[in-house]
Structure 1
Amino acid sequence: MPGWLFVPAGLALAFVALPIAGLLTRVPWLRLPALLATPESVDALALSLQTCAASLILTIVLGLPLALAIARSTGPWAAVARVLAVLPMVLPPVVAGLALLVTLGRRGLLGAHLSAFGIEIGFTTLAVVIGQTFVAMPYFVIAVEAALRTLDPGFEQVAATLGASPSRVLSRITLPLLAPAFVSGAAMALARALGEFGATLTFAGSLQGVTQTLPQAIYLAREVEPDAALALSVVLLGLAAALMAVSGLVNRAASGVSDG
């Protein structure tokens, strides 16, 4: 590696690290327990953990079959499906929320029909889960799909030759080989769901205990109680860092096994 590359690499690291360090220096550490014990903070943290857990389950249930279908298919439809699957990654969050609102809101394309049966989705806790899943699932799909494309198909072919059904090959061969990408993709999706703000605010609003997640509580608190916003920011930062650390450890462990 050329030595001069360490200069821009160091600048890039400083570009990320300095704002985080600045945030940490402003946190009122002595008051942190009290700030996190307020009803607003407790409700926001509890709701974020609950909705993100539900979002992760939904992401896996829907995202895993989608990744498998895209990776194992060829032709124009597969390319179109892949573009659609990852599109929420590049959409502005407020656009994603607006798209969900005009589709599933009370007067939306599908929401109007659901409302006729007494089913309301917009501005409910379910809307938070849907919004988080919409923006987070692409991270899981792209991680699993990339891993699928690099897998040696020989193991699956041998199992199929020996008489294993496609479902058995999937459960006993494919999924175990995908475990590192599965965990890494799930961690990234969960971190993205935890940090989601724009889509959920547009589609679900910000009602304490019902739809107000950690990012929304931080945004609202920064004007009236900056110390509370900093305290919640530290919690969100710590959760995201832990998830990314897990993802990195799994990837390094997988690389070590493959090298061995």
Structure 2
Amino acid sequence: MIDLPPEAWEALRLSLRVAAVATLAGMPLAFAVAWLLARVAFRGRWLVEVAVLLPLILPPVVTGYALLAVFAPAGPLGFLPFAFRWTGAALAAGVMAFPLMVRPIRLALEAVDPRVEEAAATMASPWRVMATVTLPLIAPGILAAAILGFAKAMGEFGATITFAASIPGETRTLPSAIYAFLQVPGAEAATRGLVLVAVVVAVVALGLSEWLARRVAARVRGA
């Protein structure tokens, strides 16, 4: 059992809540964007790809600042309750995790042989083909996207602290708590405990995503 002070457990529980909300809210949009990029040819596609990947390239603080400019009280969407709240932490984490949710789904879709879907479409409606053929084939990719997105949301720091700050009990997530404990003399044990939790989450997520990626390849080859 990891020995952590109450405020560290509080930060861990908040991180789990933030990551779960960010993942659940982001997955439908990630699927829609992945489908668009994998299956639809349209002008300006590269702009969508750039927009999706931009959070991975920009410094996270820049992403957080952009969110703050939009959702701050004086911003165009300042009437929405995000800035300096746990919902803002979830939004920032979701934006940063979004590219990692789109990519596995897109790769899984691109790996499916279109002839399989075309053959099924001769006997069923497009929605039935989606439900009974496409989704089962890409299910490991969807799971990998959810796992990677959750892990990224759990570990997000720069955009979150810029947009939602580090308010104990409200927006202080696991990475923010690690940073806060580093500033406190004698808090080395709590820092090490939280670091261990973060490492375990990352390693498990990477291992599961790699295993699921192999499942996608094996399932598609067998289709």
With the length of structure 2 as denominator, give the TM-score of the two structures. 0.92
User: Which residues of 2 match residues 153-192 of structure 1 at below 5 A?
Assistant: 153-162=114-123, 164-192=124-152
After superposition, give the CA deviation of every residue in 1:64-120 in whole Å (9 maximum; x if it has no partner). Answer: 111111211113222221221121111110001001110112111221xx2xxxx43
Counterpart check, 1:101 vs 2:63:
no
Cα drift, residue 158 of structure 1: 1.4
Alpha-carbon contact 1:147-1:181 (below 8 Å) kept: yes
Over 3 Å counting, the alpha-carbon distance change for 1:251 and 1:85 in structure 2 is: same
Question: Quick check: which has more Rg, 1 or 2?
Answer: 1
After superposition, give the CA deviation of every residue in 1:151-180 in whole Å (9 maximum; x if it has no partner). Answer: 100111112222x22222211111111112
Q: Which residue of 2 aligns with 1:199?
A: 159
User: Which residues of 2 match residues 145-156 of structure 1 at below 5 A?
Assistant: 145-156=106-117
Consecutive unaligned residues of structure 1, counting only runs of 5 or more, are 1-31
Counterpart check, 1:62 vs 2:23:
no
Q: Which residue of 2 aligns with 1:110?
A: 77
Cα drift, residue 196 of structure 1: 0.2
Cα drift, residue 258 of structure 1: 5.1
Alpha-carbon contact 2:81-2:87 (below 8 Å) kept: no
Distance 1:84 1:167 in 2: 28
Over 3 Å counting, the alpha-carbon distance change for 1:71 and 1:258 in structure 2 is: closer
After superposition, give the CA deviation of every residue in 1:224-255 in whole Å (9 maximum; x if it has no partner). Answer: 12221111100111111111111122223444
Q: Which residue of 2 aligns with 1:223?
A: 183
Quote the sequence identity (%): 36
Distance 1:192 1:233 in 2: 15
Could you tell me which of 53, 75, 79 is aligned with 2:46? 79
After superposition, give the CA deviation of every residue in 1:189-222 in whole Å (9 maximum; x if it has no partner). Answer: 1111111000000000111111000000000101
Q: Which residue of 2 aligns with 1:14?
A: none
User: Which residues of 2 match residues 16-95 of structure 1 at below 5 A?
Assistant: 33-34=2-3, 36=4, 38-95=5-62
* Amino acid across the alignment from 1:99: A
Distance 2:137 2:126 in 1: 15
* Amino acid across the alignment from 1:194: M
Distance 1:193 1:53 in 2: 8
* Amino acid across the alignment from 2:2: P
Counterpart check, 1:126 vs 2:95:
no
Distance 2:166 2:73 in 1: 17
Distance 2:167 2:120 in 1: 52
Q: Which moved more, 1:197-206 or 1:184-193?
A: 184-193
Q: Provide the secondary structure at the position in 2 that maps to 1:234.
A: helix
Cα drift, residue 259 of structure 1: 5.7
Distance 2:198 2:174 in 1: 7
Distance 1:198 1:98 in 2: 10
Q: Which residue of 1 aligns with 2:101?
A: 140
Alpha-carbon contact 1:86-1:142 (below 8 Å) kept: no
Q: Which residue of 1 aligns with 2:198?
A: 236
State the structure with bigger RCO (CA 8 A, min sep 6), 1 or 2: 2
With the length of structure 1 as denominator, give the TM-score of the two structures. 0.80
Cα drift, residue 145 of structure 1: 1.1
Over 3 Å counting, the alpha-carbon distance change for 1:153 and 1:258 in structure 2 is: closer
Alpha-carbon contact 1:106-1:120 (below 8 Å) kept: no
Distance 2:73 2:105 in 1: 34
